[in-house]
């Protein structure tokens, strides 16, 4: 299973999220983000359009993930190097690995990272 993890600003749109996912160059089987962002209208509309399940990742679980990138803003706000990477890893389960560092949408409002489950 490939999980697309997302980090995004409050002003992000569904198009921001779609662009970030497109920049990864792959499709996903599920979506994930920080628990407090999972109900954001842009994210729920995006998930509904794709027809994919959403994993809301708790703050302590985000912090426990080792990410490839280290954004100072993400570290200050969420105590993780990348919300997108951490969410993808957490939702993909034990032994998951990132397929690549996060991709950033053209409007710089969203990031997306893909993780594959540890059993694949």
All domains of the chain in start order, with CATH: 2-116 (3.30.420.180)
Report the alpha-carbon distance of residue 36 to residue 105 in Å, rounded.
21
Report the alpha-carbon distance of residue 93 to residue 116 in Å, rounded.
9
pLDDT of 76 reads: 81
pLDDT of 33 reads: 98
> Terminus-to-terminus CA distance in the chain, angstroms?
8
Q: Is 21 exposed, middle or buried (0-12, 13-18, 19+ CB in 10 A)?
A: buried
Model confidence, pTM: 0.93
Q: Which positions of the chain have pLDDT values less than 50?
A: 120
pLDDT of 72 reads: 82
User: CA angle, 44 as apex, 100 and 60 as ends, to 5°?
Assistant: 60
């Amino acid at each position: 299973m490939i999980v697309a993890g997302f980090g995004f600003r409050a002003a992000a749109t569904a198009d921001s999220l779609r662009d970030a996912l497109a920049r990864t160059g792959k499709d996903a089987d599920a979506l994930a983000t920080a628990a407090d962002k999972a109900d954001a209208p842009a994210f729920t509309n995006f998930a509904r359009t794709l027809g994919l399940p959403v994993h809301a990742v708790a703050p302590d679980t985000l912090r426990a993930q080792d990410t490839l990138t280290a954004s100072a803003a993400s570290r200050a706000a969420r105590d993780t190097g990348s919300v997108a990477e951490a969410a993808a890893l957490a939702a993909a389960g034990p032994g998951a690995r990132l397929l690549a560092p996060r991709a950033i949408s053209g409007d710089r409002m969203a990031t997306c990272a893909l993780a594959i489950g540890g059993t694949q």
